[in-house]
Each structure stands twice: as C-alpha cells, then as structure tokens.
C-alpha cells in the first residue's frame, strides 16, 4: 500500500473534506496547501499525483490522534522520517482508542482470522524476538474492516 492510498482510505473512512484534511495537518503544526492535498489524493494512475512521504503521513496520523483523542499536555510527537505498516497500525489504534480485542473483532467483521499473538507481534518493538512485520494485506484488511464498521454510522 502506498502512503497516498492510506491517506485516501482514511479520508473516505471518516468522510473528511479537503479542509478537514488540511486541518488535521494543521493540528500537528504543519501547513498544507489545498492544491498539494488534492494532488496527494489523486488516483495512482493520475500523472498529477504527488507521492506522500512517510514523514507527511506521520504528521497526518499525529493530527488524527489529536483530533480523535484530544490535545495532550505533552509536546507534539516528532513525526517519524520512516514509517512502517506497524507504526501506521499503531497510530490508527491509538487514534481510534482500540484495544486488541476491538481489532480482532474488526478482522472478524470481514471474516479474516488473526490470532491475539499474531496481532500483539505487530505492536512489539522491532528488536523483540516476537516482533513481526505488518504486511500490506493486514493493513489493507484492517482499513477494510474499519470501512465496514463505519459505513453504518
């Protein structure tokens, strides 16, 4: 999955307008022009598409966390320069205040089975012996499950 694809999916998941998307960046102290936002959201085959960097996606996800959970007394987190699927999954988990059982229920919602141990391996530190890389298919299935959950709301 590309960063642009993830950004598009989150936008449609919460039915955010361009201005709301820009506001999420602003919440994380990053200004984005509307034209740039529109170019990030273009389809993959569009020649005007501009690739969203890992750092830009991290800033957006940090803004999403603040918007969904409220501003913390702590200083804003530094956006990561390199963002893995594991980090994206973790940031979405934090933003949506999901527990492991909630995520397992989401996967059940779309008939995808994942064990509690498999899920916990995604949230471990990379140097931990039980750490496991979150492959695109897991992140895609997670976003699909969120879409299914929120389509009825």
The tally of domains found in the chain comes to 2
Position 74 scores a pLDDT of 81
Q: Could you give the dihedral angle defined by the CA atoms of residues 82, 88, 92 and 97, in that order, rounded to the nearest 10 degrees?
A: -80
pLDDT digits (tens, 9 = 90+) for 11-56: 999 999 999 999 999 999 999 999 999 999 999 999 999 999 999 9
- pLDDT at position 153 over 70: no
The last residue of a domain, from among 24, 45, 69: 69
Q: Is 100 within the bounds of a domain? A: yes
- Same domain assignment for residues 65 and 101: no
Read off the pLDDT of each residue in 101-107 and give the average, rounded to a whole number: 96
- Same domain assignment for residues 65 and 92: no
Distance CA 39, CA 42 (A): 5
Q: Is 77 within the bounds of a domain? A: no
Q: Is 34 within the bounds of a domain? A: yes
Position 76 scores a pLDDT of 84
The last residue of a domain, from among 35, 69, 103: 69
- Same domain assignment for residues 50 and 95: no
- Same domain assignment for residues 13 and 43: yes
Percentage of the chain lying above the pLDDT 70 cut: 99
Closest C-alpha among 34, 41, 31 to residue 8:
41
User: Contact at 8 Å (CB) between 138 and 123?
Assistant: no
Give residue 48's domain range: 3-69
- Same domain assignment for residues 7 and 62: yes
| DSSP per-residue string spanning 28-68 | TT----HHHHHHHTS-TT-TT--PPPHHHHHHHHHHHHHHH
The CB density around residue 136, as the number of other CB atoms within 10 Å, is: 11
Q: Is 79 within the bounds of a domain? A: no
Distance CA 85, CA 34 (A): 26
Per-residue pLDDT band for 77 (boundaries 50, 70, 90) equals confident
Position 55 scores a pLDDT of 97
Q: Is 76 within the bounds of a domain? A: no
pLDDT digits (tens, 9 = 90+) for 123-134: 999 999 999 999
- Same domain assignment for residues 62 and 89: no
């Amino acid at each position: 999955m590309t960063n642009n694809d993830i950004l598009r999916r989150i936008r449609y998941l919460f039915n955010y307008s361009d201005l709301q998307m820009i506001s999420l960046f602003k919440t994380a102290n990053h200004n984005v022009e509307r034209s740039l936002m529109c170019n990030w959201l273009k389809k993959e085959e569009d020649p005007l598409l501009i690739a969203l960097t890992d750092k830009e996606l991290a800033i957006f996800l940090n803004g999403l966390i603040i918007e969904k959970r409220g501003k913390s007394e702590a200083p804003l987190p530094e956006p990561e320069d390199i963002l893995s699927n594991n980090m994206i999954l973790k940031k979405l988990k934090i933003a949506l205040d999901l527990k492991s059982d909630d995520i397992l229920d989401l996967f059940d919602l779309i008939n995808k089975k994942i064990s509690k141990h498999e899920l916990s391996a995604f949230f471990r530190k990379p140097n931990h012996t039980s750490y496991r890389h979150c492959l695109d298919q897991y992140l895609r299935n997670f976003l699909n499950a969120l879409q299914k959950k929120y389509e009825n709301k």
